[in-house]
Each structure stands twice: as structure tokens, then as C-alpha cells.
Amino acid sequence: MKVTPEDARKLNLPPECVNKTPSGETFVKSNLQKGILPEILEELIAARKRAKADLKASTLIALLPSEFPDNRLYCYVQEAKDPLEKAVLDGRQLALKISANSVYGFTGATVGQLPCIEISSSVTSYGRQMIEHTKKLVEDKFTTVGGYEHTAEVIYGDTDSVMVQFGVSNVETAMNLGREAAEYISGTFTKPIKLEFEKVYYPYLLISKKRYAGLLWTNSQKFDKMDTKGIETVRRDNCLLVKNLVNDCLHKILINRDIPGAVQYVKNTISDLLMNRMDLSLLVITKGLTKTGDDYEVKAAHVELAERMRKRDAATAPNVGDRVPYVIVKAAKGAKAYEKSEDPIYVLENNIPIDPNYYLENQISKPLLRIFEPILKNAEKELLKGSHTRSISISTPSNSGIMKFAKKQLSCIGCKALLSDADKTLCSHCKGREAELYCKTVSQVSDLEELFGRLWTQCQECQGSLHQDVLCTSRDCPIFYRRKKAQKDMAEAKRQLGRWNF
């Protein structure tokens, strides 16, 4: 249900001369003086019209008869098969639409290019007025007194849309009611403004202003997709773990309607994180390096890291303009957040422990609580403080600190007891369990081998060559770190297996 800002143009809103806008501003009419904004807007809308026409034309290509010498009229009509071209044209008209819709918006930014708060507040005040109007009409008409099954309630409205809870139990009746309401309300608006029925959300999880998730239905047979606004952060400076976790939880809650399952899933993930079983690529955070370290006013994690990497190896360090991927590692107590960033490859190569608490507290806890608080009692206690958070495993770094002075000694594969010099594999207590323990070691190797093969052949496939080494260093690839880790784990597992050669 929309009252788009585009309608602002149709209403000739900025030059409203005599009448005050609902927010109390006055504007000159266009016959007196045409504003800049309407001009821009008209240009944009004309451009979108052209782009739409181009999109249509791209499916039909006609060769002009003048291209043929013998003056006979040939007219070839063929379908343009290139879906890429279509997508580009479609993208262009969408971009123009978005631009047109947001023309008024930048006037509201006080530090922007054309600040004029009066314009934007007027536009939104019109919108608000219409929403209020709609709300009143809907709640007056759709009542049990008026002969409807349930009393409708407007639960949420934002600039150009309202969400109405009709209270019915199936999608189809909700749709019909939505259409009826849209028609009824459109009739009460001035001519070009129309309220459209757009979609049904079922179920619908409204978390707060501008944050909601739901299953979107546009037909009554099958839902179209899971729609989320403001929750699942697509921002790249969050790690992939957050995105996946939130997405999977919503999937479990909304589609499978399985809240205990979602809770269990969260607990397992948190436990994996604490037990150091997490795939590192899920924990990588990337930030763009826009200027060199000295120019940043406050110290930022990625800038510090870039600086440190330059000291290690200037050739591979990120430069200005690159995106810097990093993970947060454990550091001395009281270390600043920016000191805890580390290059993921370096972390993999040197077994540096990551800081699970950072990820738990700064990355996943907020988005999770936002989802679970409305549906779960004591969400924080249940999810973030249960028994699943009690066992923790931290890898020991291989190159730094006190480990440099440590004396290494083999431990029994079965019970981890230190071995005397004579034994290589098992202590005398575990000797009888050889078969079982060997099975375990070899099954680890076998799982890793399978993973290794799948990861590296995938990379060969992507780069499109079998006879060249894989060179790809795209750190945005989800399997980039996993591939590296598989190689390293494989070497380690193989060494463990080698200890059985007696």
C-alpha cells in the first residue's frame, strides 16, 4: 500500500502556494516560479520512461530496410537472447525509479548538498497525513460491528505504507480484504494518488521500527520468499557468521515454525564458536582502507592491521583502496579493540587463537536478541549464558609468546598422557584400544581428504583450467580460507596418521 513520493510531483507539492502543507510550510506555485526539484524529477521520470521503452525494444530487434541495397523491404525481427543486456536495462530503469523516489530525501540531510529541511518535512508530513487517514478509515470500516469477521488493526506504518492486521486466519481472505481496503481508500484520495494492495505477510515478525521479517505472499498458493527489512545486515563489515545465523534462524522460525529448533541451532553455533570448530571464513570482517594510517583520526582495527602487515611484508600488504579482511584474535588483557585484529591467513598459518567472546558479544548477540526477544522469555539468559557456553577450547599459537620456549613432547593419541621416549603412538594403558583409536585417526584423515578434493577441484573449475595451479586470491570467496585451512589441516592429520607407522 503506497503513497509514493512520486505522487508529490503529481500534486505539484513543492510549489504549493496558497495552501500550507501539513507541516506548516508554504510553497510557491509552479506557474509563478518553477522549482529546481520538480525539474529534476521530471527529467528523471522521462528518463525512466525511455529506459522502460528500451527494455521493451531489446527483445525485438528490427533491421532497417535501408541496410539492404536492392531496395526490397526486409524486416528481420529476432529476439535478443542476451539476458545480460536485459538485466542491465532493467537495472537502469530501477535505478532511475529509486533516484526519482529519493529526490526529496536529500533535502532533509542538513550537511548534504541541498539542505532544505522544509521540503522533506512537507513531503513526509503529507505521507503521514495519508497514513493517519488510512488508519482511521480502515479501523472504522473493518470492524465486527461493520459485519466483518474480526476487527482490523493498523500495526505499523512508514512513510508510504501501512500494515494492517485483519485478524483472519488464511492468506486468501486476507488478500481479498487487503484489495477491498485499497480500493475503498483510494476512492477517498485526490485523483493521481492511489493506495495499492501489495502483499500479505504470514507469519510476520515485527521487531521494532523499520525492522521486520516475514514470509511474503503475493498469491494465495505459495509464499514467494522470506522478506526481511533492517534485520539481516547485508553490510560487509559484519562477518558472514552473523548473516548466516540470522538467516537460518528466521528460516527455522518463519518457514518451519520451529522455535525450539532455532534455539538449539543458535546454541550449537555458539558452542562451535567457543570450541574453535568454526570455519574461519565465517569470522572474517572486511573494511575498505580509504586512506593511510596517519590520516585516520581514531585508530581503527583494519588500518592498524594494514600497517602491521606492511612491516611484515610490504609486497603483500593491502594498499589504499583495497578491502582489508581481518579476524579478531585473543590478545593481552585490556588490549584495545584495534590491537586485536589479525590477517586471517596469518592466523591460519600460526594457529593464533581467535577471540570467541568478541564475536559473541559484539557480533552475534545483538542481532540474535533482536529476533528472539519478542518470541522467547529470558532470551539473553537462554541463548547466551546456557550450559553450551561452558566448554571452551583455544588453540595454542605456534610462533609467539611463551610457546617459543616450550619443550615439545608427544602425547598419547588415546588419552593425551605424555609419552615416554620409547612409545611413539600410544601409552601402555591405551595399547589395547589400537583398532578403535586408529579408526578414529584414519576417519579424520578420510574426511579431510574428501573436503580437500572437493575444495581444490572447485577452484580449478572456477578458474577454468586443469593444467595450471590455482592462483585465485579472491578473499571474498567463501571457500578461500577453507581451502587454505584444508591444506594445512591435511598436513597435520597426515602427520598424526604417520605416527601409526610402527
Partner 1 sequence: MEAMEIDSQKIHQRKQSTYLSFDESFEIQKETYTGQQYSQIYFARLYKMRTLLYSLVPNWKPRLTVCTVLGLEQGKECIIVGTLYKHMKLKPCILDEYSKERSSAPLVKAHNFVHPDDCLILEDESGRVKLGGTKLSPLLYVTGVVVALHGRETSAGEFFVEDVLEAGLPPQIELPLELREDKYVVFVSGLSVGSTASNPLQFQLFVDHITGHLGDDEEQNIAAQIVHVVIAGNSVEIPHGLLNGQNLASKDQSSLSDPIKELDLLLTQIASGLPLDIMPGSNDPANFSLPQQPLHRCLLPGSAAYNTFRSCTNPHCFELDNIRFLGTSGQNIDDLAKYSEGKDSLDFMERTLRWAHVAPTTPNTLGCYPFSDRDPFVIESCPHVYFVGNQEKYETRLLKGSNGQLVRLICIPKFCQTGVAVVLNMRNLECHTLTFGTQFS
Q: Residues in the site for partner 1, rule: CB under 8 A?
A: 248, 251, 433-436, 438-440, 442-447, 449-450, 452-458, 460-461, 464-470, 478-479, 487, 490-491, 494-495, 497, 500
Half-sphere exposure of 349 (CA within 13 A, CB side): 5
Integer Cα distance of 174 and 152 in angstroms: 11
Can you say whether the dihedral through the CA atoms of 247, 251, 252, 257 is positive or negative? positive
Which pairs with CB-CB distance under 8 Å and at least 24 residues apart come from 341-349?
341/301, 341/302, 341/304, 341/305, 342/305, 343/305, 343/309, 344/280, 344/281, 344/283, 344/284, 344/475, 344/481, 345/481, 345/484, 346/312, 347/280, 348/280, 348/481, 348/484, 348/485, 348/488, 349/488
In the 3-class helix/strand/coil scheme, how is 107-160 assigned residue by residue?
Answer: HHCCCCCCCCHHHHHHHHHHHHHHHHHHHHHHHHHCCCCCCCCCCCEEEEEECC
Q: Which is nearer to partner 1, 313 or 469 (CB)?
A: 469
Tell me whether residue 84 or residue 471 sits nearer to partner 1 (CB atom).
Answer: 471
**Closest to partner 1 by CB, 204 or 500:** 500
Residue 294 C-alpha cell reads as 596517519
Nearer to partner 1, 4 or 425 (CB): 425
* 21: number of Cβ within 10 Å: 19
In 10 A of CB 42, how many CB atoms? 13
CB of 167 to partner 1, least distance (A): 30
- Comparing CB distances to partner 1, the nearer of 138 and 455 is 455
Query: Is 149 in contact with 167 (CB distance < 8 Å)?
Result: yes
Closer by beta carbon to partner 1, 369 or else 490: 490
203's enclosing H/E stretch is strand 200-208
Nearer to partner 1, 181 or 455 (CB): 455
* Minimum CB–partner distance for residue 434 and partner 1 (Å): 4
- Minimum gap (Å) between residue 266 Cβ and partner 1: 17
Instruction: Tell me which amino acid residue 424 is.
Output: K
Reported as type and span, the H/E element at residue 201 is strand 200-208
Least distance from partner 1 to the Cβ atom of residue 12, Å: 43
**Separation between Cα atoms, residue 73 and residue 63, nearest integer Å:** 10
Least distance to partner 1 from the beta carbon of 123, Å? Answer: 34
Report in angstroms how near the CB of residue 470 gets to partner 1 at its nearest.
Answer: 6
Shortest distance (Å) from residue 262 CB to partner 1:
14
Nearer CB in complex with partner 1: 42/461: 461
What is the smallest separation between the CB atom of 443 and partner 1, expressed in angstroms? 4
Q: Residue 249 Cβ, how far from partner 1 at the closest point, in Å?
A: 13
Of 375 and 439, nearer to partner 1 (C-beta) is 439
